[in-house]
């Protein structure tokens, strides 16, 4: 069965920016979808991780980071899961 859906320009840009893949979240159900360019295996290099860590450290140095509240995150994920479970 052939089930193709046309992507929006924003989705295509996200996949291109993500080196062949992107995450998309449904704002209503909070389900997360992975968009992967067919024929390309996503890879993450050491350089990618170094760059992302350096970006995060620079944000922290500028005071742009926030403390990570694990309990609040778990409560939010549980709320999303419960909402998704009751919808279907």
Into how many domains does the chain fold?
Answer: 2
Residue carrying structure tokens 């992975």: 34
Q: From CA 17, how far away is CA 9, in angstroms rounded? A: 12
48 and 36 part of one domain: no
36 and 63 part of one domain: no
66 and 80 part of one domain: yes
30 and 51 part of one domain: no
58 and 86 part of one domain: yes
pLDDT of residue 40: 61
Write out pLDDT tens, residues 21-75.
898 888 899 898 888 888 766 567 788 888 999 999 999 999 998 888 999 999 9
Is residue 87 pLDDT above 70, yes or no? yes
Q: If DSSP codes are grouped into helix, strand and coil, which group holds residue 54?
A: helix
> 3: domain range?
1-41
Band of the pLDDT at 88, cuts 50, 70, 90?
A: low
The model's pTM is: 0.40
71 and 57 part of one domain: yes
37 and 53 part of one domain: no
Is residue 1 pLDDT above 60, yes or no? no
Q: From CA 73, how far away is CA 17, in angstroms rounded? A: 27
Is residue 76 pLDDT above 80, yes or no? yes
């Amino acid at each position: 069965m052939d089930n193709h859906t046309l992507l929006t320009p924003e989705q295509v840009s996200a996949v291109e920016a993500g080196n062949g893949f992107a995450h998309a979240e449904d704002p209503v159900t909070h389900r997360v979808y992975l968009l992967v360019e067919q024929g390309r295996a996503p890879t993450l290099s050491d350089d990618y991780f170094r760059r992302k860590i350096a970006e995060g450290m620079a944000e922290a140095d500028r005071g742009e980071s926030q403390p990570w509240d694990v309990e609040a995150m778990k409560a939010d994920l549980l709320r999303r899961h419960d909402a998704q479970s009751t919808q279907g």
